[in-house]
Amino acid sequence: MRGRFKWCVVVAVALGIGSDLFGTPAGAQSIEEKTQICASCHGADGKPVEKTIPIISGQPQGYLYIQLRDFKRGDRKNDIMQPIASSMEREDMLAIAEYFSKKPWPDLGQPRASKEISGRALSANRSVGCTGCHLDQFQGDGTVPRLAGQSRDYLTKTIADFRTRARGNNPGMSDLMLATAPDDLAALAEYLAGL
Ligand code: HEC
Ligand code: HEC
């Protein structure tokens, strides 16, 4: 219960500050000021404060921009991120995406998957071809996200959201996730987190 309470406070504070931040005229604030609010959840050192919050530091600019745009449009639904993105202009989104893309990817220190889990994940990758898009070592590029070392709980959640289409901003990814066995996806999440 305590964790949940802390979470609510973080959200309330963040949303309160958020509406002020992007309500001011474009250019009135530096990029550091505009991104201060992000650190309260995504982490000042790039390590998210909760396991269901994704790493955004070091993620490609194109991918980050598309997510902010999709949250604003409502194509990607999320009670926390939609209000934050809703008051951003395109220029803000591009600048913020560039700012985070230039930061180093943090090491969350998640355990490496066992031999058995890794074997299952790699065999699923061979049949689905994840790395055909997510590239070698799941590093991502352009509008395709890096998956290597992403938070395991976040990966699990967003894969589940693709499957229910609660995350509806990329129907192709949803189709692919629905066509992949849940056990394979669980193995992939564990494997990717440990890379
Ligand atoms: C109150 C906490 C909170 C704050 C503040 C916050 N975020 Fe988020 N952010 C989240 C959560 C939780 C998610 C995961 C949403 C989901 O599960 O779909 C997320 C997701 C994202 C994503 C999608 C990442 C991915 O891998 O798909 C981006 C991009 C993002 N946030 C950028 C930002 C930026 C930029 C700011 C500051 C302007 C910010 N966030 C502020 C909690 C927060
Ligand atoms: C045809 C290209 C393609 C293939 C194949 C593919 N992906 Fe993706 N994937 C994408 C794109 C593009 C996105 C970004 C979608 C968006 O903009 O929201 C994505 C997003 C994701 C995300 C969300 C990451 C985040 O930070 O929120 C996960 C997780 C993911 N893919 C896992 C996988 C796995 C696991 C496989 C193999 C089983 C796979 N993908 C196969 C193109 C692909």
Please give the pLDDT value at position 50: 97
Check residue 183 and give its pLDDT: 97
Q: 3-8: which pairs have CB atoms within 8 A and are 24 or more residues apart?
A: 7/50
Question: CATH: 1.10.3470.10, 1.10.760.10, 1.10.3720.10, 1.10.150.20. Which one for 115-193?
Answer: 1.10.760.10
Token pair belonging to 167 = 């995350």
User: Which atom belonging to ligand 1 lies closest to the Cα atom of 88?
Assistant: 38
Among all bound ligands, the one having the nearest atom to the CA of 156 is 2
Burial 146-177 (b: 16+ CB within 10 A, else e): bbbbbbbbbbbbbbebbbeeebbbbeebbebb
Does the beta carbon of 113 sit less than 6 angstroms from any atom of ligand 1?
no
The answer to whether the CB of 159 is under 6 A from ligand 2 is yes
User: Which residue CA neighbors atom 15 of ligand 2 most closely?
Assistant: 170
Q: Ligand 1 center to residue 127 CA distance, Å?
A: 31
- Helical axes 182-193 vs 115-128, angle rounded to 10°: 110
Rounded Cα distance between 136 and 78, Å, is 30
Instruction: Give the 3-state secondary structure of residue 144.
Output: strand
| Rounded Cα gap, residues 95 and 116, in angstroms | 42
Decide: 48 in ligand 2 pocket, CB within 6 A.
Answer: no
| Closest C-alpha residue for ligand 1 atom 3 | 41
CA-to-CA distance for 95 and 22, rounded, in angstroms? 13
* CA 89, chain centre distance (Å): 20
d(CA 148, CA 99): 20
Every domain range in the chain assigned CATH 1.10.760.10: 2-101, 115-193
Residue nearest (by alpha carbon) to ligand 1 atom 15: 78
Q: Is ligand 2 within 6 A of the CB of residue 180? A: yes
pLDDT tens digits in sequence order for the chain, 195 residues long: 344 445 544 554 455 544 445 555 555 788 999 999 999 999 999 999 999 999 999 999 999 999 999 999 999 999 999 999 999 999 999 999 999 999 999 999 999 999 999 999 999 999 999 999 999 999 999 999 999 999 999 999 999 999 999 999 999 999 999 999 999 999 999 999 999
For residue 28, the model assigns a pLDDT of 72
pLDDT of residue 21: 53
Q: Are 152 and 108 in contact (CB under 8 A)?
A: no
- For ligand 2, atom 38, the nearest C-alpha belongs to 130
CATH superfamily of 2-101: Cytochrome c-like domain (1.10.760.10)
CA dist., res. 43 & res. 94, Å (int)? 20
Q: Indicate whether residue 132 lines ligand 2 (CB < 6 A).
A: yes
Beta-bridge mates of residue 76: 167
Please indicate whether residue 78, judged by its CB atom, sits closer than 6 Å to ligand 1: yes
Q: Is the CB of 48 under 6 A from ligand 1?
A: no
How much is the pLDDT for 10? 52
Q: Other C-beta atoms within 10 Å of 93: how many?
A: 19
pLDDT value of residue 11: 53
pLDDT of residue 7: 52
Cβ neighbors of 158 (< 8 A, separation 6 or more) are: 54, 167
